[in-house]
Amino acid sequence: MRFCPFSQRVHLILDAKGIPHHKIYIDLIDKPEWYKDYSPLGKVPALQLTSVKEQPTLVESLIITEYLDEQYPELRLFPTDTLQKAQDKILIERFAPVVSAVYPVLTCNPSAPTDALTNFETALDVFEQELARRGSPYFAGQTIGIVDYMIWPWFERFPSLKLTTEQKYELKPERFGLLLKWRELVSQNEAVGKTALDAQLHADFQSSKRLGKPQYDIAFRA
Amino acid sequence: MRFCPFSQRVHLILDAKGIPHHKIYIDLIDKPEWYKDYSPLGKVPALQLTSVKEQPTLVESLIITEYLDEQYPELRLFPTDTLQKAQDKILIERFAPVVSAVYPVLTCNPSAPTDALTNFETALDVFEQELARRGSPYFAGQTIGIVDYMIWPWFERFPSLKLTTEQKYELKPERFGLLLKWRELVSQNEAVGKTALDAQLHADFQSSKRLGKPQYDIAFRA
User: What pLDDT sits at residue A222?
Assistant: 58
Asked if A41 has any chain B CB less than 8 Å from its own CB, the reply is yes
Q: What is the pLDDT of residues B209-219, one digit of tens each?
A: 888 889 988 98
Asked if B63 has any chain A CB less than 8 Å from its own CB, the reply is yes
When CB atoms are compared, the residue of A67, A97, A126 closest to B86 is A67
The candidate with the shortest Cα–Cα distance to B78, out of B14, B20, B140, is B140
Q: What is the pLDDT of residues B139-196, one digit of tens each?
A: 999 999 999 999 999 999 999 999 999 999 999 999 999 999 999 999 999 999 999 9
A83 and B59 within 8 Å at the Cβ level: the answer is no
How many residues in total does chain A contain? Answer: 222
The candidate with the shortest Cα–Cα distance to A30, out of A210, A205, A211, A216, is A216
Is the separation of the CB atoms in B165 and B105 below 8 Å?
Answer: yes
Reply yes or no on whether the pLDDT at A210 is more than 90: no
B80: left (phi over 0), alpha (psi -120 to 50) or beta: alpha
Rg (CA), chain B: 18
Q: How far apart are CA B56 and CA A38, in angstroms?
A: 39
Percentage of residues in chain B with pLDDT exceeding 70? 100
A60 and B97 within 8 Å at the Cβ level: the answer is no
- Using DSSP bridges, classify how beta strands B46-48 and A46-48 pair: parallel, antiparallel or unpaired: unpaired
The helix (H) or strand (E) run that includes residue B47 is strand B46-48
How many residues in total does chain B contain? Answer: 222
State the smallest CA–CA distance between residue A27 and chain B in angstroms: 23
Q: How far apart are CA B83 and CA B86, in angstroms?
A: 5
For chains A and B, CB pairs below 8 A equal: 58
User: What pLDDT sits at residue A139?
Assistant: 98
Asked if A50 has any chain B CB less than 8 Å from its own CB, the reply is no
A41 and B97 within 8 Å at the Cβ level: the answer is yes
Is the separation of the CB atoms in A31 and A42 below 8 Å?
Answer: yes
When CB atoms are compared, the residue of A49, A83, A97 closest to B56 is A83
The CATH number fitting domain B82-201, selected from 3.40.50.300, 1.20.1050.10, 1.10.260.40, 3.30.70.250: 1.20.1050.10
User: What pLDDT sits at residue A221?
Assistant: 76
Q: Which of A90, A92, A93, A125 to mutate to test the interface with B (most CBs of B within 10 A)?
A: A90
CATH number of A5-75: 3.40.30.10
Structural domain boundaries of chain B? Answer: 5-75, 82-201
Reported as a pLDDT band with limits 50, 70 and 90, residue B200 is very high
Asked if A217 has any chain B CB less than 8 Å from its own CB, the reply is no
B58 and A90 within 8 Å at the Cβ level: the answer is yes
